[in-house]
Amino acid sequence: MDFRQITTVTILAAEAFFCSATWAASVSVVGLFKDKAIVTIDGGKPRTLSAGQTVQGVKLIAADSGGASFDIDGKRRTLGMGQSFAGGATPGGRQSVSLTADARGHFAAAGSLNGYPVSFLVDTGATAIAISAAEAKRIGLDYRAGQAVGVGTAAGVVPAWRVTFNTVKVGGISVNQVEGMVVETGLSVPLLGMSFLNRMEMKRDGQTMTLTQRY
């Protein structure tokens, strides 16, 4: 899809799948207790996890004052106080992140735009990252300074603006100067489109999609 064609199916399905999809995430440990850990996930606010609890694809297995063990994206990671884990790296040193599809086959990706935490819906049909005007205001983006265009949605053609995001992060992957679109109405969930995905090697194996940064 181009900037004038954000599909009705994508927009209407977006809200339904976020609760069940899991994804690799960047995790930092900021507090440790018996069977509990205080963590930040993808730069979000600190939150307390109890042993056995899973949030955004991050499961706390065990914790004490010496460290915490997590299941992150299906792999066990042990982190001490102040330590972090972000996505993964290929043997060549390139960052990668794995996403797991929900029952409908949709992929969610936890990340950030210009340093603000965002939960994306991966959309290979979108030519660029697309967010709502409300989301743009939340992250402090002066989107009206961009080029005004029209975008087709379920509600008809609505105003939109072309923008550039200084930094886009998904897991341990970070990309600078990424083209995007801010849509006035009709888009409830940020879309991770091809302006970001074109910089990745994308591999799908069943219900798992792996993104590896190319440049």
With 90 as the cut, is the pLDDT of residue 25 above it?
no
pLDDT at 58: 87
- Token duo for residue 178: 């990424």
Residue 168 pLDDT grade (very low, low, confident, very high; cuts 50, 70, 90): very high
pLDDT at 7: 40
Q: For residues 82 and 116, what is the distance between their CA atoms, to the nearest angstrom?
A: 21
pLDDT at 91: 53
Domains of the chain, with CATH numbers?
Answer: 8-21+90-213 (2.40.70.10), 25-85 (2.30.30)
Taking a C-beta distance cutoff of 8 angstroms, is the pair 39, 47 a contact? yes
pLDDT at 90: 54
List, for residues 27-59, the tens digit of each pLDDT value: 878 889 999 999 888 767 888 999 999 988 789
Q: For residues 85 and 27, what is the distance between their CA atoms, to the nearest angstrom?
A: 5
For 202, half-sphere exposure in the C-beta direction (CA atoms, 13 angstrom radius) is 12
List, for residues 2-19, the tens digit of each pLDDT value: 544 444 334 434 444 343
With 50 as the cut, is the pLDDT of residue 177 above it?
yes
Beta strands in 75-205 (DSSP E): 75-79, 84-86, 88-89, 95-100, 108-113, 116-122, 129-132, 147-153, 156-170, 173-183, 191-192, 200-205
Q: For residues 194 and 196, what is the distance between their CA atoms, to the nearest angstrom?
A: 5
Residue 171 pLDDT grade (very low, low, confident, very high; cuts 50, 70, 90): confident
What average pLDDT does range 59-71 have in this prediction? 90
With 50 as the cut, is the pLDDT of residue 21 above it?
no
List, for residues 85-114, the tens digit of each pLDDT value: 665 555 556 788 888 888 788 888 888 999
